[in-house]
A and B are shown apart, each in its own frame.
Chain A
Amino acid sequence: MSLVGWLGQVLSRRARFAVLGAGVLLILALFFPLWKITMFANQFPEGLRLSIYAHQLVGGNGGTDLQGINILNHYIGMRELQAEDFLEMKFIPFVLGIFLLLGLRTAVFARFGNVVDLTVLFVYFAVFSFGTFAFRMYTYGHHLNPEAPIKVPGFTPPVFGHQHIANFDVYSYPGPGTFLLGAFGVALIVVLFFETRRIRRATTPA
């Protein structure tokens, strides 16, 4: 079968519902942090916590840790972390809405090509977002105010994993929001896999 032929194949009812169901994960992902950064030190045994959501930055301990982290960062001249500076927080909710619409389109028009579109765009979105997140970490750590009380060489705070910075142990890991988005991506790939097998079996002469 030609590629165009493949893309035009009609999805099974089960696949359409699967894509529709996976769309719920996108909505849920808005309510959970995408990434979590936690800092421990001797005098912070309970940790200072920062949760990065699709649309907001939330400090731990009832929100107060954000100010706490910013106060510590100001000693090395780091720019204040604030949601307004995160371009991602403006486009991610919007983009998730687009993916939800593309999911609906897939469920309604039910073409194999719709799932391919959705998957390709979603993978691109995931890689791009992680890239901008890493770049933002780099930017925060490398554009330090030269007049800061404590002068440190530029550094990149951990994007993934653990790093020891001054008296702090900093941990940076994806949060439930990212796992939900990941599950959405996995769902699409599973749909592609089973649909490919089904279509192939259906079109292979016995």
Chain B
Amino acid sequence: MKRHLPVAAMLIAVACAPSKGPQGGTGGARLADAREAAQRTYVEPGKLDEFYLFYSGGHSGQVYVAGVPSMRHIATIPVFAPYPATGYGFDEESKAMLGGYTWGDVHHPALSKTNGDYDGRWLFVNDNANNRVARIDLRDFKTHQILGPIANSSGNHGSAFLTENSEYALVASRFSIPIPRGTYAPLSKYATDYHGVFTGIKIDSATGTMSIGWQIETPPFDWDLAATGRDVSKDWVVWSSYNTERATGRLEVTASQRDRDYIAFVNWKKAAAAAAEGKGKVIGGVRVLNPREVPGMMFLVPLAKSPHGADFSPDGRYVIGGGKLAPYVTVFDFQKFLTATTSNDTIGSEDGIPVLRYESIRVAEVPVGLGPLHTQFDDQGYAYTSLFVESAIAKWKLGPFDGHDSALVVAKIPVHFSVGHLVVAHGDTRHPVGKYLISMNKLSKGRHLDVGPSQPESSELIDITGSGMTMLYEAFTEPEPHFAQLVRADLLHPIEVYPKAENHNPNAIWAASDAKISRRGNIVEAKVFSIRSYFAPNEIEVQQGDSVILHVTNAEQERDMLHGFGIASYNINVVMDPGETKTIAFRATKPGVYPFYCTNFCSAMHQEMQGYLLVKPRAGATVATNGGGN
């Protein structure tokens, strides 16, 4: 470990890194000629981008869609947080999906795969905060399922990572807790009574529907990031870890005492088979496997202290471990890993899980620079590693690994500033498209028009077609992109309207004459029709205290002809896409007259698209108590 810097030196490096000027790059880095860069990124009005970029939105809970190379933001897909712009979280269906939560923390979007390549069907995203995974259907770019909170698992950071044919979304806990969730144990029992958990989430190959498959109980390490194998390694998933010290308290110190933490290699096929055989025990409603009882399912390999990213090369042969606090990435050879597992080349164990010999599996320590986090790949045999501390991206050659590790680094480009994840088109598949790389930076530090203290993040588009790297463009996005997926636009075929024939909602109506209001006891239910530029009915009268259920159908079948339905002072706004029916339910607690109107601009007579909700006061109720007014 002679190249492993002490923590103190690293902290100095952190302090020094941002002092570099924007032109302070080394080895092959250059700012593109402005005209050339403009040509590369300019997408003429009316013309389309070449790639879709799906950004995770971090603690905004959403997913952002941008076009590349223009970097234009095109749409926001609400996932874990209400979004009035599309009415998400206001209608009964999306409210039920959100389950009462109003935020989530999206980190790692994963496109569904077939044979290790994107198939353009679904996008899975994790919620680090509330232990959930959501599925976005790329047919309509809408969230269709939110699974969780996942039993036993806490801090769903290491997800969602999909197996080669999207059989499973793999999930790991970042925070260990006593399981099942709800169990109490004092922190003094952390090392023994707390557990980390890996979860295999089964994905239905026809519908994409997720269900909990099985779990693996692990020592109370903090599991960080994962990658799934391909070809030779297709049955395996790797997870990096920190806090293998099993420490509590001030983790930046207590979890930084060991020189090395681990990368876990887990055979998910073996886990699935063991669960199917009924091994392990049911905890919190899920079959939980103990690695001790399923030999060959899980191994630990030491890796430089508190690593972050773990990434498989496109051919599945190498695993790249980002050292985070070390100035190099470690390259593990999967073949050598397999050999070590069969030859029992171990140096010990953790709770019965074999720890393999680092030196037997590692084939290189590539000195990419300070703070290496994540690695992506191109189709020319190069790897790209983000350097958080150094605020740069290193380009290096994926072999030959013959001991000349430092010769592998071919270029470095400064980014602005403090890059976290990076993404290459199809960069985590069998067939990367080595054209663009996007550096997703945690800090933008005033490289934009000043917007006050709450600053956006920055994303920089880098051309990787040449031998080096060329900075092309910079965009700013809402907090906060972590990982992203960059996919060729021609792989996606979204619909433009919901075809009327596919709307099987029993409350959908397609003619104004079918609109009706009915009452059952205290429940008033209405089928509401909307089309340019009116609602039918446009007058809904209820008694104060009634439960009101409105099914609003947008009968349009024309592209981009959306209608909204907002009720003033009742905190309700839904938006119906063409051919869509949405259901709103609320109690008419406030007496008085409340206008409703189309909130999504539709036509020349959009302003006229309105009506009244009339709430007749209950006998004896005082009208003056309604202070809200409108």
Residues of A that sit less than 8 Å from B by CB: 62, 64, 67-68, 71, 75, 149
Contacts and interface: CB of A to CB of B under 8 A. Distances in A.
Given A75-B604, A149-B605, A64 B497 contact: yes
A68 B532 CA distance: 10
Interface in B534-580: 555-558
A71 B605 contact: no
A62 B555 CA distance: 15
A85 to B, nearest CB: 17
Contacts of A64: 497, 557-558
Contacts of B558: 64, 67-68, 71
18 contacts: A62-B499, A64-B497, A64-B557, A64-B558, A67-B555, A67-B556, A67-B557, A67-B558, A68-B557, A68-B558, A71-B531, A71-B532, A71-B556, A71-B558, A75-B604, A75-B605, A149-B605, A149-B608
Nearest to A46: B559
A75 B557 CA distance: 17
Q: Interface SS of chain B: helix, strand, loop or mixed?
A: loop
A48 to B, nearest CB: 9
A62 B556 CA distance: 13
Closest 3 pairs (CB-CB, A-B): A64-B557, A68-B558, A71-B532
B554 to A, nearest CB: 12
Nearest to A43: B560
Interface of B: 497, 499, 531-532, 555-558, 604-605, 608
A165 B558 CA distance: 21
Given A67-B557, A71-B558, 16 more contacts: A62-B499, A64-B497, A64-B557, A64-B558, A67-B555, A67-B556, A67-B558, A68-B557, A68-B558, A71-B531, A71-B532, A71-B556, A75-B604, A75-B605, A149-B605, A149-B608
A55 to B, nearest CB: 21
A62 B499 CA distance: 9
Nearest to B510: A67
A83 B61 CA distance: 49
Contacts of A75: 604-605
A93 B496 CA distance: 35
Contacts of B499: 62
A74 to B, nearest CB: 8
Contacts of A149: 605, 608
Nearest to B532: A71
A14 B153 CA distance: 85
Nearest to A63: B557
Contacts of A62: 499
Most central of A64, A75, A149 by chain B CB within 10 Å = A64
A64 B555 CA distance: 11
B399 to A, nearest CB: 50
Nearest to B497: A64
A146 B605 CA distance: 17
A71 B532 CA distance: 7
Contacts of B608: 149
Most central of A62, A71, A75 by chain B CB within 10 Å = A71
A64 B531 CA distance: 14
A6 B60 CA distance: 89
Nearest to A74: B532
Nearest to B558: A68
A68 B560 CA distance: 12
Contacts of B557: 64, 67-68
Nearest to A45: B46
A62 to B, nearest CB: 8
Nearest to A48: B558
A159 B497 CA distance: 31
Contacts of B604: 75
B455 to A, nearest CB: 37
Contacts of A67: 555-558
B183 to A, nearest CB: 56
A149 B603 CA distance: 13
Contacts of B605: 75, 149
A67 B556 CA distance: 8
A68 B555 CA distance: 11
